[in-house]
Structure 1
Amino acid sequence: MDKAALYLIPVLLGDTSVERVIPEFNKRIVSELKFFIVENIRSARRFMKKCDPGIDIDSLTFYELNKHTNKKDIEGYLAPMKSGNSMGVISEAGCPAIADPGAEVVAIAQKKGYKVVPLVGPSSLLMAVMASGFNGQSFAFHGYLPIDSSKRVSKIKYLEM
């Protein structure tokens, strides 16, 4: 890692072993970084331990970015990059910044001229298109469906129009 970068680190989807889906390069990046912006600290720590069982979790700094985060605090999360430190962004599942609060920190990093590096890994969106049998040449993503069943039905009816 030469220049400070913001690494977008995909995580596991469900209960899959890390060896099956996370490239060695990603595991090495996770092991080398000291600063992370995460959606949930607890699940990020679990993922990191799967990537590198010997990682010293207590020596790392975590900034939590989720729906409860004050928007004014987000820019400050990138402070380690000012000092030349690379950082990682970890979501709850799949790829950060796709229908995810990580998009906000990526936009700020780009505005500030920081290098943003998306890493290869599982993406629920692309996996759904791949498994659908539909032609993936042209599709639109309207966000994930709501968890609440009545809201989900309403959203599906709206999308069918």
Structure 2
Amino acid sequence: MLNTTQDRTTALYVVATPLGNLADITLRALEVMRTVSLIACEDTRHARRLLDHYDIKTPTVSLHKHNEVQAGGKLLESLRQGKSVALISDAGTPAISDPGARAVAVVQEAGFLVVPLPGPNAAIAALSASGLVDERFLFVGFLPAKAGARRAEIERLRAVPAALVFYEAPHRIEET
């Protein structure tokens, strides 16, 4: 359960969601999604699977890369009415190689509190199971979609003295 000061605070909660196994979610994330007035989702149909699994009835609104600024306005409307909002992506942490950063910036610029809820993160999970002993790493995110630009980016990063963590689309893994 949220503490009494948190559940009285108007805020945007940036909530990490499972990467595949629905059990990989925090109790705090579930409580926040149950108690906010609105959940902004990368894809409401995808989010519904998670929300239905945990019997969460909170209304949802779509927030994706094509409507992020406009959807940020909807979030501000709710916040200005004293209602808290959660932001989730399809998997992992919103705004980390997923939509959400622009909406978070809009909310911050308007002076509202943004509260990150830690949870599943594909980059950290992969790094922890990699066996790499380097204490330093660089999270690069997604590589460019075009092969030439992707090769150039990889070549540019060769000189970085740390483990490199990339996200890549499944259909491009072999050619990368």
TM over 0.5: yes
TM-score tier after normalising by the smaller chain length = 0.7 to 0.9
Identity of aligned residues (%): 34
Q: Identify the residue that residue 103 of structure 1 maps to in structure 2.
A: 101
Q: Give the secondary-structure state (helix, strand or coil) at the position aligned to 1:89.
A: strand
For 2:115 and 2:68, locate their aligned partners in 1 and report how far apart those are by CA, in whole Å. Answer: 25
For 2:145 and 2:120, locate their aligned partners in 1 and report how far apart those are by CA, in whole Å. Answer: 21
Q: Identify the residue that residue 71 of structure 1 maps to in structure 2.
A: 69
Larger Rg: 2
Q: Identify the residue that residue 140 of structure 1 maps to in structure 2.
A: 138
Closer, same or farther in 2 for the Cα pair 1:44/1:149, shift >3 Å?
A: farther
Q: Which runs of 4+ in 1 moved over 4 A?
A: 146-155
Which protein is richer in strand relative to its size?
2
Q: Identify the residue that residue 5 of structure 1 maps to in structure 2.
A: 11
TM-score of the two chains, using structure 2 as the length reference: 0.74
Q: Deviations over 1:8-39 (max 9, x none)?
A: 1111112x142xx2122221111112212111
Which protein is richer in helix relative to its size?
1
Q: Identify the residue that residue 56 of structure 1 maps to in structure 2.
A: 57
Shift of 1:135: 4.2
Number of residue pairs the alignment of both structures matches: 153
Closer, same or farther in 2 for the Cα pair 1:13/1:150, shift >3 Å?
A: farther
Q: Which amino acid aligns with 2:10?
A: A
The reply to whether residue 81 of structure 1 matches residue 79 of structure 2 is yes
Note the residue ranges of structure 1 that are not aligned, 5 or more in a row. Answer: none
